[in-house]
Amino acid sequence: MDGQTAGAQSIRFNAPVSIVSGASIVGKKEGEGPLRDAFDLIGEDPMFGTDSWEAAESTLQKETAGLAIAKAGLKNWQIRAIYAGDLLAQSVASSFGIAELGIPVYGLYGACSTMGEALSLGAMAVAGGYGEYVLALTSSHFASAEKEFRFPLAYGNQRPLSATWTVTGSGACVLGRKDAKAQIAGVTTGKIVDYGLKDPLNMGACMAPAACDTIYQNFMDFNRMPEDYDQIITGDLGKVGQQILWDLLAEKGYDISGRHMDCGLKIYDGKTQDTHSGGSGCGCAATVFVSYVLPKIESGEWKRVLFVPTGALMSKVSFNEGQSVPGIAHGVVVESAGKGEG
Amino acid sequence: MDGQTAGAQSIRFNAPVSIVSGASIVGKKEGEGPLRDAFDLIGEDPMFGTDSWEAAESTLQKETAGLAIAKAGLKNWQIRAIYAGDLLAQSVASSFGIAELGIPVYGLYGACSTMGEALSLGAMAVAGGYGEYVLALTSSHFASAEKEFRFPLAYGNQRPLSATWTVTGSGACVLGRKDAKAQIAGVTTGKIVDYGLKDPLNMGACMAPAACDTIYQNFMDFNRMPEDYDQIITGDLGKVGQQILWDLLAEKGYDISGRHMDCGLKIYDGKTQDTHSGGSGCGCAATVFVSYVLPKIESGEWKRVLFVPTGALMSKVSFNEGQSVPGIAHGVVVESAGKGEG
């Protein structure tokens, strides 16, 4: 039981935890992007058959959870707990989405880093023997997020080029002790990092220092170099944040530019989809991980990746009160089964 | 590592996790109530030296965390992770409160059940070998909660007798592997329970079904009767919710009335403090647990209690859209050391 720690902020599981299945459902715009063929389902109706943006996001989350459980060949009662979160105040997308599944729930809030938090805590639960299967689940919705954080859609505000576009989508992974082709070998828990930046329309810059902190700490804790990962995958730094991350890590002596991808830059075609700096939201990292990253690990194309969803910790109130936008990033080491975690 | 499960929703730790220290800081009104001599500190200034209610709550949380760590005889770097949450949108009280502690953070949202969630996940981490010490931490503040959920203070709205009064306070526990007089022997993870009630000024009624569900499940999973606990302690059901809980459990054949206490009914003097149904908020269960419950376990007066913080899952938006107020409750089995969890 003891000794599943590594360095100052990381956990190295004695027995890696399997990613038994993954599911992703997205909205129309995401379904028109480069990953259109990789998602499980694309909803043509942005309301997902409901009468509010929040209910739409709840439905998205419920359907994605159900799909992941079905793909794992399981029934709801076999899932010991759900680790879930979203961006809305008091996490209502999750609460109303998963209530009827009848599964015990731990509600999480890590802004857009929440999928990293959910995979971390879920893997810790399985590795600790607290359940055979758990579910990690997050969502975001463009319209519910605009309503929560920004302007009424009908106002048609102009967005600076540093702004990101909130992904309409939900991603879910069943974690468990069953054999699978991808597994979580370790995690690096993020600290809150605050460089004092205050622009909520440049969240990439706000989150990049946290991503740098977690990636650097992961290298230290596991005694690794960037080359020990086939890919280092951040959540939603976008174009602006990506460059800052590269620069910050270069200052520490690490060049990750050749093996870095950002989910926010992968999900949309920046040239044709008018998404400016890229995609964002809890659903961004989650859907790109499930649809694009996981298959490459399962096929063995990538042997080991560091998945680092990034979150900007702010609210309307904190912004209006002139507070900065601190960042947080949680790192998850995912390996192709048989690779053997060193 | 295996087999740390009990029944359908519970965990029984092979090695119980110590509650190494606890700290509580409250506001002036709480400091005038029945537990006035039990809290570590009482703040006379509701702003806690800041210029906004949110910053006040952040300060409250930061000071309480620091006090719990100091009482455990530890330094910040020895705390492997903080499990923290509050009631505000995007959990900003926590994010801005604990950033400067420099400790890795898992942000949680379980409404007023969050202390149960934090103690559960924190104990799971320590028992799993993921760190020698972790911190469970929550807060609420009357004024920030009124601003978040209800009316401007200056409006002076009338409150029905079923309404509760949000506690200004923060509670923190250091959990770890060091010997201590109180320990967490097991947990029961709550489901979201929705009876369709919609009155946010009667949250006791909204949460009582969830409390019933978790307490009943705890009895089933551990094969226990109410008499196996010296006390069953809910978070903030208040007068109205307490009676509903007793009635719901009586329908299932369990009478807990002789050994039940509710933190919301303990923290204020209902006769003189004009708090109507009782206290509520993440800080209610947390401060009463630390100041009143923990000492009784440490002294051996209570050998085993079931601590069940209760949460109402709602937001301004979900209320305005006509949604119900589902409840959730997380159960934590706390024992006097040496008792031996059966």
- The pLDDT tens digits of the residues spanning B107-132 come to 999 999 999 999 999 999 999 999 99
User: Is-contact A172 A64, C-beta < 8 A?
Assistant: yes
Determine phi and psi for A161, rounding to 5 degrees: -65, -15
Residue B268: CB atoms within 10 A of its CB come to 25
Report the pLDDT value the prediction gives residue A1, as an integer from 0 to 100: 43
Strands (E) in chain B, as ranges, are: 5-6, 10-26, 41-42, 81-85, 105-107, 133-140, 165-166, 169-176, 182-188, 231-234, 260-262, 279-280, 304-308, 310-312, 327-329, 331-336
B81 touches chain A (CB under 8 A): yes
Q: Is the CB of B107 less than 8 angstroms away from the CB of A102?
A: no
Residue A248: CB atoms within 10 A of its CB come to 18
How many residues make up chain B in this entry?
342
B212 touches chain A (CB under 8 A): no
Q: Is the CB of B321 less than 8 angstroms away from the CB of A109?
A: no
Q: Parallel, antiparallel, or unpaired: how do β-strands B41-42 and B10-26 relate?
A: parallel
Report the pLDDT value the prediction gives residue B339, as an integer from 0 to 100: 52
Cβ-nearest to B54 among A99, A148, A318: A318
A51: closest CA of chain B, how far (Å): 9
Give the C-alpha separation, A85 to A87, whole Å: 7
A332 closest CA partner among A209, A204, A179, A222: A222
Mean per-residue pLDDT, A132-139: 98
Distances (CA, A) of B127 to A47, A69, A126, B119: 43, 27, 13, 12
Asked if this assembly's ipTM is beyond 0.90, the reply is: yes
Report the pLDDT value the prediction gives residue A156, as an integer from 0 to 100: 86
Q: Is the CB of A88 less than 8 angstroms away from the CB of B117?
A: no
A104 touches chain B (CB under 8 A): yes
- pTM to 2 decimals? 0.97
pLDDT category at A3 given cuts 50, 70, 90 is: low
pLDDT category at A14 given cuts 50, 70, 90 is: very high
Q: Retrieve residue B51's tokens.
A: 């210029």
User: Is-contact B91 B282, C-beta < 8 A?
Assistant: no
Give the C-alpha separation, A144 to A188, whole Å: 30
Put simply, the chain B residues between 124 and 153 with a CB less than 8 A from any chain A CB are 124-125, 127-131, 147-148
Give the C-alpha separation, A46 to A56, whole Å: 7
Scanning every residue of chain B, which has its alpha carbon at the shortest distance from the alpha carbon of A104?
A: B191
Residue B322: CB atoms within 10 A of its CB come to 9
Q: Is the pLDDT confidence value at B139 over 90?
A: yes
Give me the torsion for CA of B315, B321, B322, B323, rounded to 10°. Answer: -50
Q: State percent of chain B over pLDDT 90.
A: 94
Q: Is the pLDDT confidence value at B3 over 80?
A: no
DSSP string, B244-281: HHHHHHHHTT---GGGEEEHHHHSS-TTTS--TT-EES
B38: closest CA of chain A, how far (Å): 30
B13 closest CA partner among B116, B120, B127: B127
